[in-house]
Structure 1
Amino acid sequence: MIARIIAELGPWSWWILGMLLLAAELLMPGVFLVWIGLAALATGAVSLLLWDFAAWAWQVQALFFAVAAVLFTLAGRRYYGRTDVGSDEPLLNQRGASLIGRTATLAEPIREGRGRIRLDDTFWIVSGPDLAAGTQVRVVASNGRDLTVDEA
């Protein structure tokens, strides 16, 4: 049935498929179907040139389409997939790391290596040498939600 439809529509079947895939890309988030749609359009363009050749059967067309889809996807990913863009706020979503270097006063003493400080409006669990409450400390490291401090 598919072979009959392709034979009746000719090279236009690939162009129709390509346009449908590009239209679907507009409806769905992400940039993936555009590469497959471009592969279908390329297959249609090659089919316009090779349609009368007996070797250009639907199986060869499908294989060409699959290879073109992989190549277009890899090329598009290489060109548009660059994520090495620098940021003016590199620690924006790393709150603990953004606190390194700040000083604070111990809200609770550090006993057996654990205590608490208050920075801005948040209490943080800290680890470090045993110190009395009210001592000025400097944040030297962050591992997730806990901070490591030294006496300032």
Structure 2
Amino acid sequence: MRWDVFAWAAFALVLFAAEAVLPGAFMLWLGFAAAAVFVAVWLLPVEVPLLAQVAAFVALSFVSIRIYQRWFRGRERDSDQPALNRRTAALVGRMAVLDRAIVDGRGRVQIADAYWDVAGPDLPAGARVRIIGGDAMTLQVEAAE
């Protein structure tokens, strides 16, 4: 077996192994390009110059990554819990009781075991409020009816 055929096979395997260790679907596509160059170099009866092999790898890498970006990356499934890692968005619509009165637009509520700063119209402690939005650690509230 020629050294360049062996080198492309080993390079493809290293890229596939790197994808297994560092997932992200990037090394996988480079591995496909290296595997394609391996097959081409192995099957062609003439010896292909190393510069042409590297150029083919670069071109095939670009094509395979573009295929991934166009057809696979944009087809991710919609989550059944879109607000999972956005805690304030997950609380929108929920009712709460003011732990500390809203004075000058600022107050506090307790939800489960956490205290949240709130912003909204001035209301006394103990008033029921509805969460209508939020940013970072401050919830936007309105008086509940």
Shorter-chain TM band: 0.7 to 0.9
Tell me the alpha carbon deviations over residues 56-109 of structure 1, each in whole angstroms, 9 at most, x when there is no partner: 422112111111122122223433323541121111122211211122221111
Distance 2:10 2:90 in 1: 52
Number of residues of Structure 1 aligned to a counterpart in Structure 2: 144
Q: Does 1:82 align with 2:74?
A: yes
- Greater Rg by CA: 1
Unaligned segments of structure 1, at least 5 residues: 1-7
Give, in angstroms, the shift of residue 10 of structure 1. Answer: 5.1
Q: How does 1:47-62 map to 2 (within 5 A)?
A: 47-52=41-46, 56-62=48-54
Could you tell me which runs of 5 or more consecutive residues in structure 2 were left unpaired when the two chains were aligned: none
* Equivalent position to 2:34, from 40, 44, 50: 40
Identify the range of structure 1 (65-74 vs 15-24) with the bigger mean alpha-carbon deviation: 15-24
In the alignment, structure 1 residue 64 sits paired with structure 2 residue 56: yes
Question: Which residue, 90, 106, 123 being the options, matches 1:98?
Answer: 90
CA contact under 8 A between 1:11 and 1:51: conserved in structure 2?
Answer: no
Contact 1:104 1:119 in 2 (8 A): yes
Q: Output the TM-score relative to the length of structure 1.
A: 0.78
Q: Deviations over 1:10-61 (max 9, x none)?
A: 54442343234334434443333222222122123322454426xx422112
TM-score (normalizing by structure 2) = 0.81
Please tell me the root mean square deviation across aligned C-alpha atoms, in Å.
Answer: 2.4
C-alpha distance in 2 between matches for 1:30 and 1:10: 28
What is the percent sequence identity of the aligned residues?
A: 34
TM-fit CA distance, 1:124: 1.3
- Residue 114 of structure 1 corresponds to 106
